[in-house]
Chain A
Amino acid sequence: MADDADLLDQRRNDLVTLFIDDHPMARALGMEFVEGDWNRVVCRLPMRDDLTFREGAGLAPGVLLTVLDGVFGLSVCMRVPVPQAIATIELKIDFIEDARTDADLVFTGECYAIADNVGYARGEITRQGDGGLVAGGSATFMLGTRGPTFFTEAAGEGA
């Protein structure tokens, strides 16, 4: 049992590396992994002028969409850390307040269900500091889609 638990921990660590630390898009956006467990992921995104909607405004809605989609996907993979590819089927976000220029953002995603090879995630975006709610959303992911998995490619076993 201890070996199984160690393997799961290792796979979840590998997922964070693949989805955040070594991922070209996550790195280009400046995503930082904060914490995570078996079904929940928290990431931070520092405010950056080149990601704003317009000069003097906060981060663009598209930035929030992109990072939250990534956090949702990672939360689904953390819950089912077996070698498989996933793809977003649906993504919904409500923008509650404009992201401000004076605060970094915290993205929290939770995979709350897996059924019939579909992963369900929900979460929110808050301001670091005062915790103000910026956006809320949800997404569904198809599991086991075609193509090489992150694990096999990372291990050099890909096609």
Chain B
Amino acid sequence: MTVCLPELERANDLLAASPFAHWLRTEAVEAHGRIAVRMHVDEHHIGNPFLRAVQGGIVASLMDYAASLTLSLYLGRAELLRPLSVNVSYLRSVRDRDCLADAQIVRLGRRVATLTTRAWQDDAEKPCAVSQYTFVLS
């Protein structure tokens, strides 16, 4: 499975319309056959300056965009959807190099959508964080 170019362009248009996505230094890319969000880690993403580890909330923000982007693209929305709730588990520290995140729709109901996300650096099979997102659809 591959991501078609128009879908990738649409994903980057959605991210470009979000000022905080720019602050995070994100871009939509293809990874493992699906849309992912890549974050170019910068000094202002670092939570522990002594370990050069990215702050947990920044990693959650990256997964936030992966979930919103995946759901908005699937539903053909013109704007990124905002989540209702998020639950993040941190598995490994995130160091100061690029980090990626993607999302999967677990269930899409009439009013509620549930997605899982993962964030990784070197190996997607060894995520540094996973999360579950809930969205209310209007």
Within 8 A of A (CB), among B54-90: 55-58, 60-62, 64-65, 79-80, 82-90
Q: Is the CB of A50 within 8 A of B56?
A: no
Q: Is the CB of B84 within 8 A of A66?
A: no
Q: Is the CB of A147 within 8 A of B64?
A: no
- Identify which of A4-12, A37-45, A81-89 touches chain B: A81-89
Mark contacts of A26-42 with chain B using CB atoms, 8 A cut-off: 1 yes-contact digit, 0 otherwise: 01110000000000000
The residues of A that contact B47 with a CB separation of less than 8 Å are 25, 70, 73
Q: Is the CB of A90 within 8 A of B55?
A: no
B101 → chain A closest CB, angstroms = 11
A54 contacts which of B79, B83, B89 (Cβ < 8 Å)?
Answer: B79
Known: A66-B58, A70-B57. A95 touches B85 (CB 8 A): yes
A105 → chain B closest CB, angstroms = 14
Q: Is the CB of A55 within 8 A of B44?
A: no
Mark contacts of B32-62 with chain A using CB atoms, 8 A cut-off: 1 yes-contact digit, 0 otherwise: 0000000000011111111101011110111
Q: Is the CB of A65 within 8 A of B60?
A: yes
The residues of A that contact B55 with a CB separation of less than 8 Å are 25, 66, 69-70
A27 → chain B closest CB, angstroms = 8
Q: Any chain B CB within 8 A of the CB of A63?
A: yes
Extra contacts, 10 of them, besides A54-B18, A60-B19, A91-B87 (Cβ < 8 A), are A50-B20, A53-B19, A53-B20, A54-B19, A69-B56, A69-B57, A88-B56, A90-B87, A90-B90, A94-B84
User: Closest 8 CB pairs between A and B?
Assistant: A62-B61, A66-B57, A69-B57, A28-B44, A88-B56, A60-B20, A65-B60, A65-B57
Interface residues of A (CB under 8 A from B): 23-25, 27-29, 49-55, 59-63, 65-70, 73, 85, 87-95, 98, 147-150, 153, 158
